[in-house]
Amino acid sequence: MTRIFSGVKPTGHLTLGNYLGAVRRWTEVDQHAADALFCVVDLHALTVDHDPARVRRLSRQAATLLLAAGLDPALCTVFVQSHVDEHARLSYLLECVATDGEMRRMIQYKEKSVRERARGGSVRLSLLTYPVLMAADILAYGTDDVPVGDDQTQHVELARDLAVRFNQRYGHTFVVPRAVRPQVAARVMSLQDPLAKMGKSEDVGPGIVYLLDEPDAVRKKVARAVTDSGRDVVYDREERPGVANLLEILAACTDGEPEKLAAAYESYGALKRDVAEAVVEVLRPVRERHRELCADPGYLEGVLRAGAERAREVARPRVDAAYRAIGL
């Protein structure tokens, strides 16, 4: 059976980008088709300036949202990364296989370290080594497929390289994973800046739609979305990134195709109205289920406890084998 692993960082509230680029596929496809594990990767939230109480709160909120979005603990495993020691244990071994040059070439490291320095802060060593921990997240479970948005494909490539290198040097230990990306909305952009990713970790603002946004908030954000100087609705990611982003969001929400949808619109106003309503409809059941789950915190605790136990059972033998293989 195909093993699937993926995760979200509790660095902010989950966004429409997280949902369309990753989480929706996990709920609709992955959990039904395979042995799937989904994780709130809280150790990754410590790579930048953080408030301990906020990280704890956001971890629970992210787990609740994964269930609200439709992950079913009867079908898949949902857990929190720091509840399973194997991630950190394996990460150290992989640091002994990765090189510092490889880490410095990672696009996210380049972008985020520049941003941290611009804010006058120092860059945590864990920001540099974060992709190794992510490789450990993936490799510990013998993962075949990693369903992620575009921004994570470079990190999954690194996990592949490290698996191959470890296997060559120390004997076959790891499955070599591959990234699986969605056909549309693999990179949802900010509504205010169509050249910037709609990321929960990036900033807060009117360009980002959050999963728990009320319908009117969604309508306002979409109505104010930056479009392009032209007037006709065409799908062109290079020349018309703002409109292309709206078309991709609409396509993802309605199972359509951006090019075909473009032909149905003559004005940006009509397009924006339909995008807003499509997003409101997609988010409605998530918000409703979230409200129900919040009323029963004991349920979440139970899910996460059972999830961590199962995750440990899957990861431990492989991580133990890696310790033996490398000479410990």
Our CB check for ligand ADP shows the closer of 12 and 307 to be 12
Least spacing, CB of residue 96 vs ligand ADP, in Å: 25
Backbone angles phi, psi at 78, to 5 degrees: -120, 125
Query: Which of positions 187-216 make contact with ligand ADP (CB under 6 A)?
Result: 187-188, 197-201
* Using rule CB under 6 A, residue 254 touches ligand ADP: no
Best CA proximity match to 15, nearest among 185, 164, 235, 137: 185
| Least CB distance to ligand ADP at residue 310 (A) | 21
249 binds ligand ADP (CB under 6 A): no
Q: Is residue 8 involved in binding ligand ADP (CB under 6 A)? A: yes
As measured in angstroms, the least distance from the Cβ of 316 to ligand ADP is 25
Residue nearest to ligand ADP (CB): 21
| CA dist., res. 324 & res. 328, Å (int) | 5
Q: Does residue 82 belong to the site contacting ligand ADP (CB under 6 A)? A: no
Q: What residue type is assigned to position 20 of the chain?
A: L
Asked if 110 and 65 count as a contact pair (C-beta separation under 8 A), the reply is: no
Is 110 a catalytic site residue? no
Closer to ligand ADP by CB, 197 or 219: give it.
197
Given a contact cutoff of 8 angstroms between Cβ atoms, the answer to whether 65 and 25 are in contact is no
Which CA distances in Å does 23 have to 16, 29, 43? 9, 10, 19
- 4 Rama class: left (phi>0) / alpha (psi -120 to 50) / beta: beta
When asked if residue 25 is in the footprint of ligand ADP (CB under 6 A), the reply is no
Q: Kindly indicate which of the ranges 48-56, 84-92, 185-193, 211-219 contains the residues binding ligand ADP, using the contact rule CB under 6 A.
A: 185-193
Q: Does residue 200 have an active-site annotation?
A: yes
| Nearer to ligand ADP among residue 163 and residue 191 (C-beta) | 191
Measured CA to CA, the distance from residue 182 to residue 46 in angstroms comes to 28
- Contact between 233 and ligand ADP (CB under 6 A)? no
**Residues listed for the chain:** 328
The residue type at 199: G
The Cα–Cα gap between 319 and 306 comes to 20
One of 132, 133, 136, 148 touching ligand ADP (CB under 6 A): 148
Work out the number of other CB atoms within 10 angstroms of the CB of residue 237: 15
Taking CB under 6 A as the criterion, the residue among 4, 5, 9, 113 binding ligand ADP is: 9
Q: How far, in Å, CA of 130 to CA of 143, rounded?
A: 18
Please identify, using beta-carbon distances, which residue of 93 and 137 lies nearer to ligand ADP. 137
How far is CA 37 from each of CA 5, 25, 34, 311, rounded to the nearest angstrom?
Answer: 5, 13, 9, 8
**Dist CA 313 CA 297 (whole Å):** 25
Q: Considering 9, 110, 197, 260, which one is annotated as catalytic? A: 197
Cβ-based nearer residue to ligand ADP, 8 or 69: 8
Instruction: For the CB of residue 317, give the shortest distance to ligand ADP in the complex, in Å.
Output: 27
Based on the residue annotation, tell me whether 9 is a catalytic residue of this protein: no
207 DSSP 8-state letter: T
Backbone angles phi, psi at 309, to 5 degrees: -60, -45
Q: How far is the CB of 201 from ligand ADP (least distance, A)?
A: 4
* The only residue of 4, 5, 18, 143 in contact with ligand ADP, by rule CB under 6 A: 18
Provide the annotated active-site residues. 112, 197, 200
| Site residues, ligand ADP (CB under 6 A) | 6, 8-9, 11, 15, 17-18, 21-22, 148-149, 151-152, 185-188, 197-201
